[in-house]
Structure 1
Amino acid sequence: MNKQKPSLRKSEELHPYVSLLNELEGLRSELLELEYSSSTTLQHVNPSHLSSTINLIHYLGLRRRDIRSLQERLAAVGLSSLGRMESHVFANLNAIIDLLSCALSKKSADKISPTASGGGAAQLESNTNQLFGKSPSHRRVRIMVTMPGEVADDYLLIKDMLIHGMDCARINCAHDTPEIWNRMIEHINLARRETGRPCRILMDLGGPKLRTGEIAPGPSVLKWKPQRNLYGNVIAPARIWLHSESDTSPSPAPADACLPVQGDWLAKATSRDIIEFIDARGSSRIVQLVSQIGTGFWGESNQTTYITPGIELNRLRVPMSGHPRRTGCAGIVGALSPIPELIRLHIGDSLNITSEPLPGKPAQFDARGRLLHAASIACSLPEVFLNVQPGERILIDNGRIGGVIRSVCRNRLVVEITQAREGGEKLLANKGINLPDSRLELNGLTAQDIEHLEFVVKHADMVGLSFARRPADILLLQKHLKRLKAEKLGIVLKIETRAAFENLPELLLTLLRSSNVGVMIARGDLAVECGYERLAELQEEILWLAEAARLPVIWATQVLEGLSKSGKPSRAEITDAAMGVRAECVMLNKGSHIIEAIQSLDDILHRMQSHQNKKISLLRRLHW
C-alpha cells in the first residue's frame, strides 16, 4: 500500500493539467502582488474606473512575460481563452483554474462560482455611451466625421451628414478660427433639432505640433492651362474669372484662374468680347468672354498662359460684319498674389532648419553651379533645438522628405536629405515635422491650446489632447479643466507619437484619473514616427491595452480616404474600414464625397458587427 502512494503522486505530477494548474496559480499570485504594489496609483484614479484600472494592471502584468507556450498548451486541452481576456483578466484566469481543479478532482463542480467576465464588457459599453452617447439602433460602432471649414457656411451638408449616419463631429482647432467653429456648432445644433439625431462634438486642440515655417514669396505669376487629351488636343478650355481689382469676393464658381483688372475697364465689356494680350513669355494670347455675372465676366482660354501684373489687355469687339476690331483703351492686369519660392530637395542635399522665423529659401548657386547657400526653412517650435542630437532622424510632410541631423547649434540644424523621390520633393510651408528619435521636452498644451480651451469647454462634449508624450501632458490638461470647472468634459487621448506609444501604460493610468475618457489611434503621425511596417502591430497593442482599461477607442486617419476625396475606394481601404469594427468609433476625414463615405462606412460596420465583436469572432452562420 505504502509503496503505491509515491507512484500515484508521480503519475499525478506527470498529468498535463497539473503543470498547467501550477503555472496558472503562480501567474495569479504574481498579478495579485502587482496589484498590491500599485496601491499608490490606485489611490489617484477616478472611483468609477477603479475596477478597470485594476484590470489594466493585471493585463500589464500578464503581458510583461511571453505566454505563447502556455497559450498553446491550454489550447491543446481545449481551455485556451487567454487571447480574449483583455477586459476581464482575473475572472478569466480564475475560471480556467477552477476548471482544471475540477478536472483534477481538487474542487467539486458545485463549488465553482460563476464567472464575472461580462462585467468588463459592460463597463466598456458604459464608458463608451458616456463619451459618445448611445449607439444607433442598427450599428454598435459610431461614425465620427472631421468638419471641413466650408460647413460653417453650408448647413445642408452637416444635415446630410447626420441623416446618413454621422454620430460625432470633430472640429480641428489647428485650423480655422473660433468664429468659424461657432458657426459650425450652430449648424450642428440646428441639424440635431431638425433631424432628431444625436451628435456629440469633439474639439481637437492643436497641441505642440512641429511644422515648417513660411516660404519667401517669389514672383507674382498667374498660370492657367486648358485640359488636353493624350494627343495634345484641347478637350475643355480653362475657365477664367475676370473681375475688378477692388472686388475681393471669391469667384461665383470654381475657376482655373481669377484675373483682377485695374479700374472700371471691365464695365465697358460685353459677354461676346475677346480679350487680346501678350503674356509674360511673349506669346500672343486671347480670352473669349462667354457670360457676365454682376460686374465680373467668365472667360475661356484654349492656350496655356502666364500672366504678371501690368500686362495690357485689349478688348476686341465682333461687329455684324464678323471682323473683330479693337475698341476703347487698354486695360491693365492688377496686383496678383506672389507664389512662394520653389524649394526642391534631392537625396544628398543639405537643408538648414532655423529657429528664427525667417522665410524659407531655395538653395543658391553661383554662375558655375557651385553651392553658395543651402536651402533653409524655419521650424514652428524652436525649443526643440535644445533636445535634438546629431545622427537623429527628421521626417517632413508625413515622411515624404526624410533626413538625418548632421549638426546642431543654437539657432540652426543642418540636415542631410536621405529620403526623396528620384525627381526630388517640394518642401512646402506649414507641413508637419517629426523627430522620432528625439526625446522632446515640450509642454503638452501650448499657449494657444490654453486659450482655445476656454471655447472648447463651453461648446464641446469632448476635448482631444494632441501629441501627448508623457503623463505630465495629461495632468496639465486635467489641471486646466479643473480650473475651468469642466472636469466632466470628455478627454480623448490621441496616440500619435512614438513617445506616446512607448509610455502608453503610464498615459492610460493617468488618463483614468478623469471620469469620462477615451483613446484615439491617430495612425498618420504614428506611422511616420514608428515606421509604416510597424503600424499594424502598434494599433493592435493600443486596442488591447485600451480594452484592458475598458476605454473606448477611435480608429482614425485615412479611413476610406480614396472614397471620401475622389469617390473611388481602393480594395485595401475597404478592408481597413472593416477592421474598424474592433473599435468603438471610426473617424472619417473631410472630402468632396464625404456623404458617400459615411454611407459606405455605415454599411460596412453594420455588416461586420455580426461577424466580429472587438477581437472575438462571433461565428455567425456562413452562407455560400
Structure 2
Amino acid sequence: MSPPVSSPRNSPAQRRKDIETARQQMLELREELVSIPDSVRQLLDAAHPNFRESARNLVHYLHMRQQDLRPLQMRLSALGLSSLGRAESHVLATIDAVLEALHELAGQEWSPGEHLPTVYDFAHGQHLLEQHANDLLGPAEPGRHVRIMVTMPSEAADDPRLIHDLLAQGMDCMRINCAHDDAITWARMIKHLRRAERAVGSTCKVVMDLGGPKLRTGPLEPGPAVLRLRARRDPLGLPSQPARIWLHAEDAAPAAPPEEADGCVPVPASWLGSLRAGDRIRLTDARGKRRSMEVVQTGKTGCWAESQRTLYVAPGTLLRRIPVTGRDLPDGPPHDAAVGALPATPSALLLRAGDLLRVTRDQQPGQPATLDAEGKVVAPASIGCTLPEVFDDVRSGEPIWFDDGKIGGVVEQMEDDHVLVRITRAGLDGEKLRADKGINLPESDLHIPALTAQDLIDLEFIAANADVVELSFANNADDVEQLEAELRRLGRPDLAIVLKIETRRGFENLPQMLLSAMQGPCCGIMIARGDLAVESGFERLAELQEEILWICEAAHVPVIWATQVLESLAKEGLPSRAEVTDAAMGHRAECVMLNKGPHVLEAVRVLDDILCRMRSHQTKKRTLLRELRLAHGLYDIAPSEGKQGKHGKKSGKHKKH
C-alpha cells in the first residue's frame, strides 16, 4: 500500500509554521503574565505567607483568562501538546512546560529567565490546595478526599446520639447556622460533639454561619383561627386513613408530637376527663357540615380520636359526647363542650402574572388586594420587608424575586413609603407569597454591609467556640476586611474564614474578595447555590459554579459545595436521580454540605459512598483513567481459550480485578 500523500495542511512546512506561531503566542502570553502592575503587586505583598505563592498563581490565572485562548488551544492540541485546559493550580509552570516542548520542536533552546514559577509543577499546586483544605476543614476520611459537612437541626442540642452517629458515619464538619436557635443551644451542640469525638476517636471542625442581612418579606394579617383535620382517601375515593386528632386540656400544651397528629384540639379539662374509649363526639364543623369522631385511646394528658371524614373546627365549635357501651348505644345523657383557643392560620397573598404588589418600608402586616363589588382591584396587595433601607438603592425597571425565585416581578414605581412591583412570573394558577420568604434584587447595587448588629453579637460566641466562621452575603472586599477587623478586635485573627458566594455581586467580586481573604492564614469559599441561582438565573448556575471552582483552584482555596445536596433523601428518605448526579459533581470540591432532615444520617452514608466511588474517576477537571471493567467485556466474549487469535497468540479471558 502506498503511503498517504501529504496535504498542505499537514506538510512539514505547515507544521513548522504552526510550531513557530504557537511559540510566539505562548511567549507573548508569558510576558503578559509576569508583567504584574504595581497595584496588583501590592495585593500580592499583603497576602499571608500561607498564600503568597497561591495569590501570585491566582493573578496569573485571571490574566490568562482575560482573553479567548481557544484558537491557541486548538493549535497546541494539533501539535500533541498540553492545551492549557488544566493549568489552574500551576499556571506559569504549565506555560513553561509547553514553551520548553515548543522550543525543542523548533530546534531552539528555552530559558525562562528571571521569572521562575513559584508554583513549579502540578504536584506543588495540588499540595498547596490539599494543605489549605486540611487547615480549613480537617483531614478527609480514608478512601475519599472530599469532606462532608452537616448542618445541625435544633434537636441536636438535646440529642447527643444524633451527633455521635453522624460523626461515626463520616461527618467531618459540623455546621451551626446562627440564623436559628441561640448561644445556649449552640453550646450544647458543641459539647455533644466534643464528647462524641472522644468516643469515636475522630475529630470534627465546628463551622458557624453568620445570619447576615437576609432580605425577607414581612408579616401578613393572620388568617382565621380554624383547624383542618384531614382524612385520607384512596384513588377510588374510599376512606383509607382517618384523621388522627389529639384532644388535650385547653390550659395545657399538647403532649402529642406534631408528626403523630393531624391536629391538636384544646377542650375543657373536666370534659376531657369524662371521655372513654368508644365514645362518639358529634359536631357541626366550621363549614356547617355534620361530622363525628370516635375516641380510640385515652391517657393522663389527653386522648386520641379519629374521624373518617375531613372536618374543620374553630374556637367555640360545640362538641357533643355520646357515651356508648356497645355500637352507638347511648348509656348516658349528652355532654357538650366548646373548643378552646386555636392559633390563627398562616395567611398568604395569591399573586398572578400581571398583578401589582406594594412592598412597603414599614412592618405593618401585609394584606391581600382590595376588590370592589364587581371583583376589580381597588388597591393592590401589600407586604412589608425586613430591610427597608435597601429600597434606597433600587431603581425602576430592575427585577425582583420572591421565595427562592418562585415569584418574579419588575420594580415599576418608586414611592417614599413603598415600591410598586408588577408581577411577571408566577404559576399558571398563581403562587402564594407568605411571610418570612426571601427577596432577591439581583441587578440592584445594594449598599448594605454583610455584618449585621446581630452578627456582631454572635461573632463573640463564634470567636470563643468555633474553628471556622462563614460570612453570609459577602459582596465585596470591604465586607471581608470588616470581618477580619472584627476578628482582630476579638483576639482571633487566626480564625478561618469562609465566604459564602450567594449574590451576583459576590460572584463578580470573587477575585478581589479572595485576595482580601488570603491576607489571613486560612480561608475558603462556599458556593451557596440557592440564592446564587435566583440572583444569576437558574440557567446560568452550572456555568457560575464551574467558574468559581476554577478560580478557587487557581488560588489553592478549598471550596464547599452547598445547598440542596441529596435534599430529598435527607428530608423524605429517597433521593432523585438528578440529586445523585449532583452529589457526584460535588466531588470536584473539597467539601460537600448536607442540610438537616429526618433522614440526614442515611444521606451522610450515601454521600460517603458516592464520594468514595468518584475518587478513582475524577479530580477537579482531570478525568482519571482507572481500569474500566466494562472494557474487559470484548475479551470475555472472544473465542474460547486455546484457539489462535489473528496474530497467532492464544486468546483467553482477561483477568478481572
- Give the TM-score, by structure 1 length: 0.95
1:229 counterpart = 2:216:
no
In structure 2, what is the equivalent of residue 341 of structure 1?
Answer: 347
In structure 2, what is the equivalent of residue 246 of structure 1?
Answer: 251
1:72–1:80: 8 Å Cα contact kept in structure 2? no
The one-letter code of the counterpart of 1:311 is: T
1:98 to 97, 100, 103: 100
2:504 to 492, 498, 507: 498
The whole-number CA distance in structure 1 between the counterparts of 2:169 and 2:550 is 31
Using the aligned pairs only, state the percent identity: 49
Q: In the TM superposition, what is the alpha-carbon distance from 1:21 to its structure 2 partner?
A: 1.6
1:44–1:513: 8 Å Cα contact kept in structure 2? yes
The whole-number CA distance in structure 1 between the counterparts of 2:333 and 2:553 is 76
Question: Helix, strand or coil for the counterpart of 1:291?
Answer: strand
1:399–1:528: 8 Å Cα contact kept in structure 2? yes
2:171 to 166, 169, 186: 166
1:429 counterpart = 2:431:
no
In structure 2, what is the equivalent of residue 4 of structure 1?
Answer: none
Deviates more, 1:273-282 or 1:373-382: 273-282
1:212 counterpart = 2:217:
yes
The whole-number CA distance in structure 2 between the counterparts of 1:431 and 1:178 is 24
1:383 counterpart = 2:389:
yes
Aligned 1:317-332 pairs, distance under 5 A: 317-319=323-325, 323-327=329-333, 329-332=335-338
For residues 213-252 of structure 1, what are the alpha-carbon distances to aligned partners after superposition, in whole Å with 9 as ceiling and x for unaligned? 1111121101111111112111111111110111125424
Gaps of 5+ in 1: 1-9
The whole-number CA distance in structure 1 between the counterparts of 2:380 and 2:327 is 61
The one-letter code of the counterpart of 1:165 is: G
1:26 counterpart = 2:28:
yes
Aligned 1:493-572 pairs, distance under 5 A: 493-572=499-578
1:351–1:417: 8 Å Cα contact kept in structure 2? yes
Question: Helix, strand or coil for the counterpart of 1:421?
Answer: coil
1:144–1:588: 8 Å Cα contact kept in structure 2? yes
2:147–2:590: 8 Å Cα contact kept in structure 1? yes
1:582–1:613: 8 Å Cα contact kept in structure 2? yes
In structure 1, what is the equivalent of residue 262 of structure 2?
Answer: 256
The verdict on how the C-alpha distance between 1:250 and 1:446 changes in structure 2, with shifts beyond 3 A counting, is: farther
For residues 272-313 of structure 1, what are the alpha-carbon distances to aligned partners after superposition, in whole Å with 9 as ceiling and x for unaligned? 322222211122222211112322111111111111111222
In structure 2, what is the equivalent of residue 6 of structure 1?
Answer: none
1:47 to 49, 62, 70: 49
1:146 to 132, 151, 159: 151
The one-letter code of the counterpart of 1:336 is: L
The one-letter code of the counterpart of 1:27 is: L
The one-letter code of the counterpart of 2:570 is: S
Question: Helix, strand or coil for the counterpart of 1:394?
Answer: strand
The whole-number CA distance in structure 2 between the counterparts of 1:108 and 1:407 is 64
For residues 170-228 of structure 1, what are the alpha-carbon distances to aligned partners after superposition, in whole Å with 9 as ceiling and x for unaligned? 11111222222222222222222221222112111111111001111121101111111
Deviates more, 1:156-165 or 1:415-424: 156-165
Q: In the TM superposition, what is the alpha-carbon distance from 1:150 to its structure 2 partner?
A: 2.0
Question: Helix, strand or coil for the counterpart of 2:193?
Answer: helix
Question: Helix, strand or coil for the counterpart of 2:329?
Answer: coil
Aligned 1:6-85 pairs, distance under 5 A: 14-34=16-36, 38-85=40-87
Q: In the TM superposition, what is the alpha-carbon distance from 1:357 to its structure 2 partner?
A: 0.5
1:592 to 584, 598, 614: 598
The one-letter code of the counterpart of 2:68 is: D
1:482 counterpart = 2:488:
yes
Q: In the TM superposition, what is the alpha-carbon distance from 1:598 to its structure 2 partner?
A: 1.1
For residues 481-522 of structure 1, what are the alpha-carbon distances to aligned partners after superposition, in whole Å with 9 as ceiling and x for unaligned? 111111111111111101111111111111111111000111
In structure 2, what is the equivalent of residue 300 of structure 1?
Answer: 306
1:119 counterpart = 2:124:
yes
Aligned 1:273-284 pairs, distance under 5 A: 273-284=279-290
In structure 2, what is the equivalent of residue 438 of structure 1?
Answer: 444
The whole-number CA distance in structure 2 between the counterparts of 1:122 and 1:343 is 54
1:345–1:427: 8 Å Cα contact kept in structure 2? yes
For residues 121-152 of structure 1, what are the alpha-carbon distances to aligned partners after superposition, in whole Å with 9 as ceiling and x for unaligned? 11110000000111111111011111122222
What is the total number of aligned residue pairs between the two structures?
Answer: 614
2:164–2:196: 8 Å Cα contact kept in structure 1? yes
1:310 counterpart = 2:316:
yes
In structure 2, what is the equivalent of residue 608 of structure 1?
Answer: 614
- Give the TM-score, by structure 2 length: 0.90
The whole-number CA distance in structure 2 between the counterparts of 1:12 and 1:610 is 40
The whole-number CA distance in structure 1 between the counterparts of 2:184 and 2:322 is 46
Q: In the TM superposition, what is the alpha-carbon distance from 1:395 to its structure 2 partner?
A: 0.3
For residues 456-493 of structure 1, what are the alpha-carbon distances to aligned partners after superposition, in whole Å with 9 as ceiling and x for unaligned? 11221111111111111111111111111111111111
Q: In the TM superposition, what is the alpha-carbon distance from 1:104 to its structure 2 partner?
A: 2.4
Deviates more, 1:538-547 or 1:166-175: 166-175
In structure 1, what is the equivalent of residue 645 of structure 2?
Answer: none
The verdict on how the C-alpha distance between 1:108 and 1:46 changes in structure 2, with shifts beyond 3 A counting, is: closer
The whole-number CA distance in structure 2 between the counterparts of 1:590 and 1:545 is 29
For residues 545-583 of structure 1, what are the alpha-carbon distances to aligned partners after superposition, in whole Å with 9 as ceiling and x for unaligned? 000000000011111122222222222111111111110
The whole-number CA distance in structure 2 between the counterparts of 1:411 and 1:188 is 48
1:35–1:57: 8 Å Cα contact kept in structure 2? no
1:473 counterpart = 2:475:
no
The one-letter code of the counterpart of 1:426 is: K
The whole-number CA distance in structure 1 between the counterparts of 2:556 and 2:581 is 25
In structure 1, what is the equivalent of residue 374 of structure 2?
Answer: 368
Question: Helix, strand or coil for the counterpart of 2:309?
Answer: coil
The whole-number CA distance in structure 1 between the counterparts of 2:164 and 2:572 is 21
Q: In the TM superposition, what is the alpha-carbon distance from 1:339 to its structure 2 partner?
A: 1.1
1:394 to 383, 400, 407: 400
Aligned 1:171-190 pairs, distance under 5 A: 171-190=176-195
2:99–2:110: 8 Å Cα contact kept in structure 1? no
Q: In the TM superposition, what is the alpha-carbon distance from 1:105 to its structure 2 partner?
A: 2.8
The verdict on how the C-alpha distance between 1:540 and 1:363 changes in structure 2, with shifts beyond 3 A counting, is: same
The one-letter code of the counterpart of 2:48 is: N
The verdict on how the C-alpha distance between 1:279 and 1:22 changes in structure 2, with shifts beyond 3 A counting, is: same
The whole-number CA distance in structure 2 between the counterparts of 1:12 and 1:400 is 57
Question: Helix, strand or coil for the counterpart of 1:361?
Answer: coil
The verdict on how the C-alpha distance between 1:320 and 1:54 changes in structure 2, with shifts beyond 3 A counting, is: closer
Question: Helix, strand or coil for the counterpart of 2:206?
Answer: strand
1:385–1:411: 8 Å Cα contact kept in structure 2? no
The whole-number CA distance in structure 1 between the counterparts of 2:508 and 2:252 is 54
Question: Helix, strand or coil for the counterpart of 2:353?
Answer: coil
Gaps of 5+ in 2: 1-11, 631-657
The whole-number CA distance in structure 2 between the counterparts of 1:326 and 1:453 is 65
The whole-number CA distance in structure 1 between the counterparts of 2:333 and 2:145 is 69
For residues 409-430 of structure 1, what are the alpha-carbon distances to aligned partners after superposition, in whole Å with 9 as ceiling and x for unaligned? 2220000110000111111111
The one-letter code of the counterpart of 1:42 is: L
Question: Helix, strand or coil for the counterpart of 1:339?
Answer: coil
1:444–1:472: 8 Å Cα contact kept in structure 2? no
The whole-number CA distance in structure 2 between the counterparts of 1:250 and 1:374 is 42
The whole-number CA distance in structure 1 between the counterparts of 2:272 and 2:307 is 17
The whole-number CA distance in structure 1 between the counterparts of 2:551 and 2:412 is 37
Question: Helix, strand or coil for the counterpart of 2:410?
Answer: strand
The whole-number CA distance in structure 2 between the counterparts of 1:236 and 1:316 is 23
Question: Helix, strand or coil for the counterpart of 1:337?
Answer: coil
The one-letter code of the counterpart of 2:76 is: L
1:135 to 140, 155, 170: 140
The one-letter code of the counterpart of 1:451 is: I
In structure 2, what is the equivalent of residue 3 of structure 1?
Answer: none
Q: In the TM superposition, what is the alpha-carbon distance from 1:36 to its structure 2 partner?
A: 5.3
1:267–1:295: 8 Å Cα contact kept in structure 2? no
1:564–1:593: 8 Å Cα contact kept in structure 2? yes
Q: In the TM superposition, what is the alpha-carbon distance from 1:108 to its structure 2 partner?
A: 8.0
